[in-house]
Amino acid sequence: MERIKSVLISQEKIAMRVEELARQIELDYNGKSPVVVAILKGAIIFYGDLVRKINLPLRFDTMSVSSYGCGTVSSGNVKINKDLTKDIDGEDVILIEDIIDSGNTMKALVSLLAHRGAKSVKVCSFLDKPSRRTTDFKADYIGYTVPDEFVVGYGLDYDEKYRNLPYIGILQLDNDEAKIV
């Protein structure tokens, strides 16, 4: 944890914002039973906290997608590593994401699920980094907008590390790492 330069969003602020997002989703989906899809792996902690706060009859599913390959910058090509387990034709779907960077992955997933017949597809992202956007995409629900820093914690990782931090921290990158971010 010595590489954490600073705490950007505290555990307490995370809990408060998750509660607020849950209330908004409840209002928007009152009387409905949406399919709530976690985008693995990064969103799993946010997803777990969020769905436990939503007082609606939710149905769960997961997807694993990649667009980064081995790097830290989106390739723009979205690959589905693990697809949904159920048909979403005619369903209201909420995609739960950890962070929206370029916007390419979420834009592609929304389009894909709409093509598969979803009644509606909305995106709830814990973090949004609009300074890195390369496509026209905006999430329907956003926890926090963050600066163009490499953030970790609360599910977000660097080289599969730091996901378990209970807060969002800014990672101190060495010179070689900073060149590729």
Beta bridge partners of 158: 161
Told to judge if 101 belongs to the known catalytic residues of this protein, a careful annotator would answer yes
- Residue 80: strand, helix, or coil: strand
- By C-alpha distance, which of 62, 123, 53, 65 is closest to 92? 123
Burial of 45 (0-12, 13-18, 19+ CB in 10 A): buried
- Intra-chain end-to-end CA distance of the chain, in Å: 20
Choose the catalytic residue: 28, 101, 148, 159. Answer: 101
Active site members? 101
